[in-house]
Structure 1
Amino acid sequence: MAASLLYVTNCLRLSPFRAVSKLRSVSVLGVHTTARHMQASQEDFEKAQNDLKTLKKDPGNEVKLKLYAFFKQATQGACNVPKPGMLDFVNKAKWDAWNSLKDLPKEKARQSYIELVSSLISAELPVKDPTSTSANKKYETLEVFSQDNITKIFLNRPEKKNAITLQMYEEIGLALDEAAKDDSVITVLTGHGDYYCSGNDLNNFTNIPPEGKEKMASDSALILESFVGKFIDFPKPLIAVVNGPAVGISVTILGLFDVVYATDRATFHTPFSQLGQSPEGCSSYTFPRIMGLSKASEVLLFNKKLTAHEACQLGLVTEVFPDSTFQKEVWERLNSYSSLPKNSLAFSKQLTRAPEKEKLHAVNREECERLKERWLSEECMNAIISFFQKRVKL
């Protein structure tokens, strides 16, 4: 029992903010209550604890909070410990999850725990794709392939609105490095699903290393600087196909693309000050040059969300297409671009970009240094706490 509880507790420590956002989701499952079933459930309860250790994937904090709550209720009964302080995110989330079960009998909590573990194990049963190849396994968060002289990079976490994880940062950088060297004429970045990209996955900011938050902030700044640098230095025409809403870093780097096509249902949002942060992706330099200082200030300082047509009028987006014909029209156009002479396009791009490259790298470094300071600030922490409290509606 202790080993299973430790597993859940350690998992919850990975993502306190996400845990807070899910703490209201704990539900009580219906169970049978005969004495015979209760006795069998105790045996299954011990087996479920061992089965839980075999999970290969993180089930997410909503589920981990349920597991924690059911386990505590099954072994100790109703919550009987003091409520942690507001800033103790992890323990407060766990306490709320356990306390929400109220007077649920131990045997019912035990059975709910068993059923939940069973559903998790069943969900991980392998489903083999006979068409998959080892080449496709290079990327776990992207789909990358070359076709008709186009290297296509698809953000491939549609269930998470293509939110960018640390692994995704690394894989996008690798895909750009390879696209820069392959035989393709142009490179396209787009997303699978309804979203283009919802910005950073919030788990990026909650996995604090043993060295402390200073180390996390420093490492994150280096990752971001390297990531943005890939776009600054990319040698071929780089085109964004914005298939849905875009948030944060996925918006700010658009100023580094050569062409941006968007569906008319796309939106563009950079809520930096709302979270006590500051611009990145060279947007502090590119946005004022593209849309003018006052409009850039509305977007970067005051969190103004742009429609696709507004973004096009301001120059951030090249052209907007009706959603019903977006994919057809855009790819037809891109296929025509891919038939143009490869070297001519590359050399022409480099001539237009070369005068600003040094400036862009300097801006990128300065933005990352400022963000590192922001991430460590009390103002940023308070803004994030406020943001999550509004979402959870405590």
Structure 2
Amino acid sequence: LLMLAPVPLLCWEAGVRLAPPAGPAGHQRLSALKKDPGNEAKLKIYALFKQATQGPCNTPKPGMLDFVNKAKWDSWKSLGSLSQEDARQQYCDLVGSLAAAEGGSAQAAAQPAGSGSAYETLLVSTEDDITTIKMNRPTKYNAITTEMYSEIIRALEQAAKDQSVLTVFTGAGDYYCSGNDLTNFTRIPEGGIQQMARDGGELLRKYIKAYIDFPKPLVAVVNGPAVGVSVTVLGLFDLVYATERATFHTPFSLLGQSPEGCSSYTFPKMMGVAKASEVLLFNQKLTAAQACQQGLVTEVFPDSSFQAEVWTRLKAYAKLPPNSLALSKQLIRSVERQKLHEVNDAEVERLVERWLSDECMNAVMGFFQSKAKL
């Protein structure tokens, strides 16, 4: 029955009273959707709108035979005690990601101040002296494709030159980032696997270098689970704020690979060798609380107030003197910048070797086969 309900019908109230939770920009993005985003997305839009405007679900549950209204009620009820402000933020994120996926008006919204081009896999914006780089593949858990690697490098280069004080990294949807998109391994160029490994290694080298050399305070707002390279680079951030439901996992040995993102240096320095080995060698998944205890995360926030608390703090930080912040960061990081570049080079060299090994190829193929059986 839900398939018969287009977006405006299922979200009729959102079409009439969208301004309170999302403002005119959100209204325009929802109205601009040309494709049916699917029942799951429509129910989420409806639920977040109700939560943003009325708070937690407080209406009686519809009867069993009232299928559409029951589905809508269940979706709203599933948000529990999510605050109205967080619901507004999630609403904007979801509608923005859907619009961006269609390439419509969100293409302009993804364009940072002073930029001449938009992004396909990111939402980039500058507001209140903060440039936000948001990974925007929510249906793929923000897995990083080769295109996203290149776009993140470009976004960091532009953020380094703009007038913002802070740069914030986060993810759209419920995930922060699920790491490297393993379909990258299926794109074999004319030069064969060796060419793919060399090209991938050089792209990764440039990607990590962009973090090492970034001149302004760099903040990760980890809004959900983080995997692989999205975890290892956190040692190069100045602040890492995480929701309590975030997890941190680097399953390299399961895939026949080795650490990157300078984590072979930064993790033992933060955690000690034994704990770093648990994470990098033996695939130990950390909760947000454990990651904070080990020094990977700066602070953990309740999920219900995560966005509100973090952004209030970041907006206050962005009012600090920008030159003082940048110069202070340079002093803190300059001592080990050369070391980080050396570690990056060594890690990439080892990874290229791993990618060309039978062990790695068998592990990756085993992963795809296990996924196909699900």
Question: 2-side partners of 1:370 and 1:134: how far apart?
Answer: 39
| TM-score, structure 1 normalization | 0.66
Give the direction of change, closer, same or farther, for the CA distance of 1:128–1:238 in structure 2 (3 Å limit).
closer
Q: Does 1:226 align with 2:206?
A: yes
How far the C-alpha of 1:384 sits from its partner, in A, is 1.8
Question: 2-side partners of 1:256 and 1:208: how far apart?
Answer: 31
Other-structure match for 1:292: 272
Larger Cα-atom Rg: 1
Other-structure match for 2:369: 389
Q: Does 1:326 align with 2:306?
A: yes
Q: Does 1:180 align with 2:155?
A: no
Kept in 1, the 8 Å contact 2:134–2:170? The answer is yes
Give the direction of change, closer, same or farther, for the CA distance of 1:383–1:172 in structure 2 (3 Å limit).
same
- 1:255-283 CA-partner distances (Å, limit 9, x unpaired): 00000000000000000000000000000
Q: CA RMSD in A?
A: 1.7
Kept in 1, the 8 Å contact 2:107–2:118? The answer is no
Kept in 1, the 8 Å contact 2:110–2:122? The answer is no
Of residues 328, 334, 345 in structure 2, which corresponds to 1:354? 334
Counterpart AA for 2:245:
R
Q: Any residues of structure 2 matched to 1:157-236 within 5 Å, and which? A: 157-236=137-216
| TM-score, structure 2 normalization | 0.70
Q: Does 1:133 align with 2:111?
A: no
Question: 2-side partners of 1:315 and 1:132: how far apart?
Answer: 37
Give the direction of change, closer, same or farther, for the CA distance of 1:134–1:281 in structure 2 (3 Å limit).
closer
Question: 2-side partners of 1:134 and 1:311: how far apart?
Answer: 33
Question: 1-side partners of 2:267 and 2:141: how far apart?
Answer: 24
Of residues 301, 318, 321 in structure 2, which corresponds to 1:338? 318
Give the direction of change, closer, same or farther, for the CA distance of 1:385–1:180 in structure 2 (3 Å limit).
same
Give the direction of change, closer, same or farther, for the CA distance of 1:302–1:135 in structure 2 (3 Å limit).
closer
Counterpart AA for 2:145:
T
Alignment partner of 1:152: what SS?
strand
Counterpart AA for 2:351:
L
Gaps of 5+ in 1: 1-125
- 1:43-78 CA-partner distances (Å, limit 9, x unpaired): xxxxxxxxxxxxxxxxxxxxxxxxxxxxxxxxxxxx
How far the C-alpha of 1:321 sits from its partner, in A, is 0.3
- 1:1-30 CA-partner distances (Å, limit 9, x unpaired): xxxxxxxxxxxxxxxxxxxxxxxxxxxxxx
- 1:190-243 CA-partner distances (Å, limit 9, x unpaired): 011000000011121110011110000000000000000000000000000000
Other-structure match for 1:38: none
Alignment partner of 2:188: what SS?
coil
Q: Any residues of structure 2 matched to 1:238-257 within 5 Å, and which? A: 238-257=218-237
Question: 2-side partners of 1:237 and 1:316: how far apart?
Answer: 16
How far the C-alpha of 1:127 sits from its partner, in A, is 6.8
How far the C-alpha of 1:390 sits from its partner, in A, is 3.1
Counterpart AA for 1:133:
A
Other-structure match for 1:156: 136
The percentage of aligned residue pairs carrying the same residue is 66
Question: 2-side partners of 1:306 and 1:135: how far apart?
Answer: 32
Q: Give the aligned length.
A: 269
Other-structure match for 1:272: 252
Kept in 1, the 8 Å contact 2:177–2:227? The answer is yes
Question: 2-side partners of 1:377 and 1:236: how far apart?
Answer: 38
Question: 2-side partners of 1:228 and 1:130: how far apart?
Answer: 31
